[in-house]
Structure 1
Amino acid sequence: MRRFLVINADDFGYSVERNEGMVTCFLSGAISGVTLMVNGVAAEDAVNRAKKVNMPTGMHFNIIEGTPVGTKTKTLTDCNGKFLDLSSLKKALSKGEVDMEEVRWELQSQIDKFQSLMGRKPEHIDGHQHAHLLPGICEVFASVLRENGVRSTRCPYEDLEPDHVYSWTADVIKDLDAMFQEVIDQASSAKPILKENGIWVSDRFVGLQTMGSDMTIERLQRQLAKAFKCNENDVISCELMVHPGYKSGDVGGCGIGVDDFARSEQREHEMNVLQSKEMQDFYRTQGIEIVPFQRCYS
């Protein structure tokens, strides 16, 4: 049985410091690719860096932070023209206040911008904070990917560890397990929709419980070993979602400034774990091959 692990770094283009850290991780073999936020203030810098080192680059569809790329976003934005945050978007969806044609237009606008920056369409697109899986949005998302020939996306169905104690967000979110379970449930509902549209997703996923200081070598190895445990197929694939990068300075974001996570040591902590000898030895002894998304479905 072959074991393919895609280690994908989110939020490429958020800041120059983050871009630099992700390229460092790629060159050291700690990640296999990145997904670009085309509305990030450092998107052009990110693209230039990716092209120089031939780094696999997909798109990180962002509909919940900062400034839209398209012009038809009335139901997706606030009075200042900025995207509704994730909580506000969920509320608007529950009330039937979101125009799905605006979702379609914004997604296509971001794909078009990606193409203008990279010189090609993305082969992989996932969603910032998993907003691509929200009920109603997922159907539009899958349809637009199919129409653009996009081959793969993220579907984060992960086994939650019981009694897991979270660190970096414990004072902000009181019930992370409930939030993560909601994402997992949405992923389960999205999987058949994505399949109907010919969109490939990995067999397994790891990353919800290993962000920032919650990423330890022990926990990461345990979660990956569990993900790859026992499978009847000749090849099993797993995506590991990561958020490495040097901590951001005063310039960054998607049009609303730099958040606390970007300014913290959390991103550099992930870089250290991912580049550690312990993780490289683990992949080798477990027979895990670090590959880009395209290797899994080609």
Structure 2
Amino acid sequence: MPQPKVKLVVTGDDFGYCPRRNRGIVECFLKGGVSNVSLLVNATSAVDAAELAKRHLIPIGLHANLSEGAPVSLNLKGSTLLNEEGFFHGKTGFRKALQSGQLNMYEVEQELRAQVKRFCELVGHLPFHMDGHQHVHVLPEVREVFAQVVADFGICYTRIPVEPGLHGCPLIPPHLRDFYIQVQKDALSSVEVFRRHGIRWPDVYLGLTTMGQNMSVASVKQALSYALGASSLNNAFTGAQSDSPAPKTDRPITAELMVHPGHPSRPQEGGCGQGPDDFSQSEDRQHELETLTDPSLLAYYKQESIQLCAFRDL
């Protein structure tokens, strides 16, 4: 077989969130729309998700969660990671607590290690990759602890959410743009930390500009166009690869496309201990599922020599 131009990992995040999300992600995998999943081990349907991954031989990694729902570790009573109800502080609350110096990094480490161990109990092997729910793994201080845990368990791959073309994307509303730009700054500051621990990641990350209603066959093609040429990659992603120069023509470019397909969660069904959020209940989940399995997108992959694969295949 000819060498592909791009090895593309299409990762379905939030596997385990609820039965309907699980079912939609599996449908997407079976139709060729996703090639990899990321499991929330503290979610209410994590056991079901792990069984589905085994049954359908779905490559699976850990979506480490420090911001939504209840912890896995049993040693965090009164923890700085939790609010008065015993739940994580939320996407914004976690960042505020971190910025004010309120979070204990030893407790972060305890929880991350507990989630890796829980993953192994559910799935039967270590994660093929490990990233952070709501991108918490690239935050200051957290990234150091995260990298050490990943390295200690011998997990090879993570996610560096720095997306070519993000700054020029007109589809993203201002409040999300500000958040995404900060995510990118944190991610770039994580590069040296992850490199020092021997952790790897694909050449290109995609997914912030193609989330929800912004996802279309055209927008996915546009995002992928940045990955199709070594010169574009070198300009857009300088410094963010672990230890290799810009890809040459003798090897494929590697890329990850982060996606969130599924059937929308029903109220009071799913979540990580507090019920499903608006993001999971949105019809955007169905829209992503339909787009990712659109025959014209799957044909485009073949036409452009884009090979869908998993982190374990890189």
Q: Which band: TM-score by shorter chain?
A: over 0.9
Q: How does 1:71-220 map to 2 (within 5 A)?
A: 71-73=74-76, 74-159=79-164, 160-162=166-168, 164-166=170-172, 170=173, 174-220=174-220
Give the superposition deviation at 1:223.
0.8
Cα distance in structure 2, aligned partners of 1:260 and 1:90: 20
Say if 1:32 and 1:291, in contact at 8 Å, map to a contact too.
yes
Instruction: Give the conservation status (yes or no) of the 8 Å contact 2:169–2:209.
Output: no
1:71 CA drift (Å)? 2.8
The letter of the residue matching 2:259 is V
The whole-number CA distance in structure 1 between the counterparts of 2:95 and 2:191 is 20
TM-score, normalising length: structure 1: 0.94
Residue number in structure 2 paired with 1:24: 27
C-alpha displacement at 1:230, in angstroms? 2.5
SS at match of 2:28: helix
Task: Structure 1: give runs of 5+ residues left out of the alignment.
Answer: none
Cα pair distance change 1:163/1:245, threshold 3 Å: closer
Aligned to 2:287: 269
Residue 278 of structure 2 corresponds to 260
Partner of 1:60: 63
Q: Percent identity?
A: 39
Q: Distance in 2 between matches of 1:77 and 1:105?
A: 13
Cα distance 1:175–1:150, how it changes in 2: closer, same or farther (>3 A)? same
**Residue 64 of structure 1 contacts residue 84 of structure 1 at CA under 8 Å; is this kept in 2?**
yes
The correspondence for 1:43, drawn from 40, 46, 71, is: 46
- Residue aligning to 1:238: 255
RMSD: 1.3
Q: State the alpha-carbon separation in 2 of the partners of residues 273 and 82 from structure 1.
A: 34
Q: What CA distance in whole angstroms lies between the structure 1 residues aligned with 2:226 and 2:122?
A: 38
Between 230-239 and 216-225, the greater mean CA deviation after superposition: 230-239
Query: Is contact 2:5-2:228 (8 Å) kept?
Result: no
Q: Which residue of 1 aligns with 2:236?
A: none
Q: Is the 8 A contact 1:123 1:149 kept in 2?
A: no
1:226 aligns with 2:226: yes
8 Å Cα contact 1:194/1:200 also seen in 2:
yes
Aligned counterparts of 2:169 and 2:50: Cα–Cα separation in 1: 40
CA distance in 2, matches of 1:96, 1:175: 24
Q: Whole-Å Cα distance in 2 between the matches of residues 162 and 46 of structure 1?
A: 36
Code of the residue aligned with 1:211 in structure 2: it is M
- Deviation at 1:217? 1.2
* Contact 1:2–1:236, Cα closer than 8 Å, also in 2: yes
Q: Write the deviation string for residues 229-257 of structure 1: whole angstroms up to 9, x where unpaired.
A: 22542221010000000111231000010
AA matched with 1:162: G
Contact 1:4 1:236 in 2 (8 A): yes
Task: Output the CA distance in 2 between the equivalents of 1:266 and 1:96.
Answer: 35
Question: For structure 1, which segment, 49-58 or 86-95, has the greater mean C-alpha deviation from structure 2 after superposition?
Answer: 86-95
User: Distance in 2 between the 1:271 and 1:88 partners?
Assistant: 30
Task: Give the Cα separation in 2 of the matches to 1:135 and 1:222.
Answer: 31
What is the TM-score when the length of structure 2 is the normalising length?
Answer: 0.89
User: What secondary structure sits across from 1:76 in the alignment?
Assistant: coil
Match of 2:240 in 1: none
